[in-house]
Structure 1
Amino acid sequence: MPPENTLFVPGSTPALLLGGAPVHADLPALDAPDGAVPACEGWSVVPRLTLCVVDGPGEAGCVVPALMAPVFGGAGSPDDMVGWCEDVERAGGAIVLSLPELPQELDWAHLLTGGVSRGGFMPALG
């Protein structure tokens, strides 16, 4: 995936947004009106400073050149990605959302219930 089509969001429940991902149709539709994002069965995320892998069943998956990707609220330094990876490790995984294109702003209510997102919580693999 081109890094400009991704957004890493740090926090206690970190997220990775993918715009126009090749795995979009492979991921389950997401509807979490109460904010409780369901597990994305059969999928995992491998967070690393230089590459982030979203791995699914069979041949489904994608690779993001993480070091070059934007981190929400970050200054554009490698420390931003280190922080995101640490957040994923602490949380045991990340919410991975695939969208037709990245949103201009983060409206979580729309992203979790608007019918455009696919994905869910993916456990981190070491």
Structure 2
Amino acid sequence: MLLTPENTLFVRGTVPVLLLSDAPVHEALPVLAARDGAVPRCEGWSIVPKLTLCVVDGPGEAGLVVPALAAPVIDTTAGDAAAGDMGDWCEDAVRAGGAVVLSLDELPEVLDWDHLLGSGAARGGFVASLD
């Protein structure tokens, strides 16, 4: 299933994050239960972070493709959020061995990690990359 870039936000960091809204995989992802900020692994899911396309594959028929080159990227590695580069996000994902994938009803206007991880509204977790 193709997800439009407008429904995604790639966030750079030590462990990169992919935020999704109106995603066809929302119900297939586990409800996020991040205890003390520790994001659990999404068993049975994988991510292929590439410059042009990012593939998130789940169990059975669950999965999606994002035209990554056209998607927004923000960089939080230097403190304040600024425009980022998809190539850098992909490198972050390779270094981290995957990315945190969070599916929400709508993308947040402000990145409030405590709210995103603790509100119970997000689904997802850490998704390992395929080698």
TM-score range, shorter-chain basis?
over 0.9
For these two proteins, the number of residue pairs brought into alignment is 123
1:63-102 correspondence to structure 2 within 5 Å = 63-73=65-75, 74-75=82-83, 80-102=85-107
Q: Structure 2: where are the runs of 5+ without partners?
A: 76-81
Query: What are the superposed Cα offsets for residues 30-58 of structure 1, whole Å, 9 maximum, x if unpaired?
Result: 02141100000100110000000010001
1:1-126 correspondence to structure 2 within 5 Å = 1-73=3-75, 74-75=82-83, 80-126=85-131
Question: Normalising by structure 2, what TM-score?
Answer: 0.90
Q: Structure 1: where are the runs of 5+ without partners?
A: none
Distance verdict in 2 for CA 1:57–1:30, change over 3 Å: same
Q: Which has the higher strand share?
A: 2
Could you tell me which residue of structure 1 aligns to residue 78 of structure 2? none
Runs of 4+ in 1 over 2 A off after TM superposition: 73-76
Using the alignment, how far apart are the partners of 2:94 and 2:35 within structure 1? 26
Letter in 1 for 2:98: G
Give the CA RMSD over aligned residues: 1.1
Question: Normalising by structure 1, what TM-score?
Answer: 0.94
